[in-house]
Structure 1
Amino acid sequence: MHKVWEDKCSPNKTLGHNPFLINNMDIAINRIAKAINEREKIVVYGPCNVDGICSISLLMLLFKYLNADVEYYISEDKQQNISSKVIGEHVSMLGASLIISLGCIIESIEQENFIKKLGMEVIALNNCDVKNDFESTLIKYKKGCISTITFKLAQAIAAYYNMKSINKYIDLAMIGIYSGNEGIVSGENKVLFDEGIKYILKTNNYGLRALMNYTGINVANEENINNMILVMTPTKNAVGTMDNARIVVELLTTNNQYRAHQIVKYLNKEVNNSLEL
């Protein structure tokens, strides 16, 4: 797959670095392809922030495009470890055989054995220095935030399936990158951010278009990206942060224009209420 990427994509510098140069990417792609082709249940597991939400949404859209059997789970915990309680009480109930964890890693051999006994495997994406003494696949890429790593994974999946339209998801990666870096963008993050901000006004994502229409955004700049992130950031209220995060995922993955506008109205109302507190 490394040669396939170099042959097809190396002239296009906007795609960034070759994803197959990232350690364990080939292993991850072969396992994901098996899950997709054999209709295994995949669960995307990510954190309750805009970086995580954009990453989850990107993979959900990609996997649905490939007709994969996929669900997602949003963790409300801020910790960087996978929760055994969540795996045992929630993810296993979804019937998962493969977990793709975004930013959360296995914390112990005991936890890995527990996950195995439940009939599941884990592919974990991470951008921090972590030791990997486990059999589970770890994709570590310190050059980017979670949205960057997720987009690199998406690029590799696209190369495997000979997809030519992977850049249509770069708008989600761009927003996640900007939120995850608190506005400071450099390196591989900057490559994807610069390409994404050029694309955002032409997006085909109903949720992002509804956000821009409702808030009157017609110029692609950092101030307007910040305004979009403000609306997308899960708020703490009676509904709950995790439930609000699910609503944002629905916004970013819906194929219903009317539903997208209704969600944006709700999110704007939530933001205004939180600012008044």
Structure 2
Amino acid sequence: MINNYSYNIFSNSIYLYDSFLLDGVGEALYRITKSVNNREKIVIYGSYDVDGITSVSLLMLILKYLNADVEYYIPDIIENEEIFNSSVIENHIRFLGAGLIITVGCGINSFREVEICRDLGIDVIITDYHTPSDKLPSAIIINPNQKQCKYPFKELNAVGITYKLAYAIAEHYHVQCIEKYLDLVAIGIASSTMPLVDENLAMLEKGMYCLSISNNYGINAITKINKINHMDYNSLKTLASILMPKINAVGRMDDARIVVELLTTSDIERAEQIAKYLKKNNGK
């Protein structure tokens, strides 16, 4: 027993805090189901680090499973240290025909960007873990660190919050397989500096088990090519390191998109091709 939820690595499920304790989840779910049901274009917007990549991939997979019209964007330009930036919205996102943008791990202080989206008729759901200012953007916001949020665990990273939202979506649509995506969550948590306590520890431990039986072609290709035969915490850190895009300013953006493709592809041959590329190109 960890706090007030239970966990057993050999059980069929783990019991986490109710997603709806996160302020904004109910409103976000309503807006997402509207997009899914009406086949409205959804764009998931995230960062190029492993936490962002696993967040984008997780949300892409659950929404694709629901046959949503969904794309993702990882920016080439970072303005004023803001991942979610106005240049991308005005010069790219607007031309995708998006009706809804969902950020993962960014956007909590993106006031101008949200206003630009509003002017373009695009709704915004912000999922973020960074500490917000006293004022919040005029969007649907999921962030355990906003003042009014009563969520009992404040140390979730981007992929942890994304999983909580995905879990709420899965419950609404009666999707039974949501916990299999804890393989991605575990990689994202292992890549971050968040403390391995409470929900983070539970999701990481169950995620390691899910990794050992994963049906994700990309993960299986990476573990096969890099000869990762046993899944423990060190193996998990190795996986996160392999998936981290290169440091050079242009290449890391391209690699980030390649890694998202790796983690979301339904083509086993393409997965192995990308895994071999990453091993050769990143020297891992």
- Report the counterpart of residue 23 of structure 1 in structure 2: 23
Contact 1:81 1:106 in 2 (8 A): no
Please say which of residues 238-247 and 114-123 is displaced more in the overlay. Answer: 238-247
- Report the counterpart of residue 123 of structure 2 in structure 1: 121
- Report the counterpart of residue 7 of structure 2 in structure 1: none
Once the two structures are superposed, the pairs formed by residues 187-266 of structure 1 within 5 Å of their partners are 187-236=198-247, 240-266=251-277
Once the two structures are superposed, the pairs formed by residues 1-277 of structure 1 within 5 Å of their partners are 14-76=14-76, 77=78, 79-80=81-82, 82-105=84-107, 107=109, 109-131=111-133, 132-141=135-144, 142-181=154-193, 184-236=195-247, 240-272=251-283
Q: How far apart are 1:81 and its partner, in Å? A: 5.4
Contact 2:85 2:110 in 1 (8 A): no
Q: How far apart are 1:24 and its partner, in Å? A: 1.0
3-state SS of paired residue (1:124): strand
Contact 1:254 1:260 in 2 (8 A): yes
Change (3 A) 1:267 1:200: same
Change (3 A) 1:152 1:270: same
Please say which of residues 229-238 and 161-170 is displaced more in the overlay. Answer: 229-238
Change (3 A) 1:109 1:250: closer
- Report the counterpart of residue 4 of structure 2 in structure 1: none
Q: How far apart are 1:180 and its partner, in Å? A: 1.6
Contact 2:39 2:68 in 1 (8 A): yes
Letter in 1 for 2:205: D
- Distance, in Å, in 2 between the alignment partners of 1:200 and 1:12 is 14
Q: Percent identity among equivalent residues?
A: 42
- Distance, in Å, in 1 between the alignment partners of 2:104 and 2:14 is 23
- Distance, in Å, in 1 between the alignment partners of 2:45 and 2:212 is 29
Change (3 A) 1:57 1:42: same
- Distance, in Å, in 2 between the alignment partners of 1:261 and 1:13 is 30
- Distance, in Å, in 1 between the alignment partners of 2:249 and 2:127 is 32
* Count of paired positions: 262
- TM-score (normalizing by structure 2): 0.87
- Distance, in Å, in 2 between the alignment partners of 1:266 and 1:186 is 35
- Distance, in Å, in 2 between the alignment partners of 1:110 and 1:253 is 31
> How much is the aligned-residue C-alpha RMSD, in angstroms?
2.0
Contact 1:80 1:103 in 2 (8 A): no
Greater share of residues in helix: 1
Change (3 A) 1:23 1:233: same
- Report the counterpart of residue 8 of structure 1 in structure 2: none
Change (3 A) 1:109 1:246: closer
- Distance, in Å, in 2 between the alignment partners of 1:175 and 1:47 is 15
- Distance, in Å, in 1 between the alignment partners of 2:127 and 2:116 is 20
Change (3 A) 1:200 1:12: closer
- Distance, in Å, in 1 between the alignment partners of 2:96 and 2:188 is 26
Please say which of residues 57-66 and 186-195 is displaced more in the overlay. Answer: 186-195
Change (3 A) 1:271 1:33: same
- TM-score (normalizing by structure 1): 0.89
- Report the counterpart of residue 148 of structure 2 in structure 1: none
Q: How far apart are 1:75 and its partner, in Å? A: 2.5
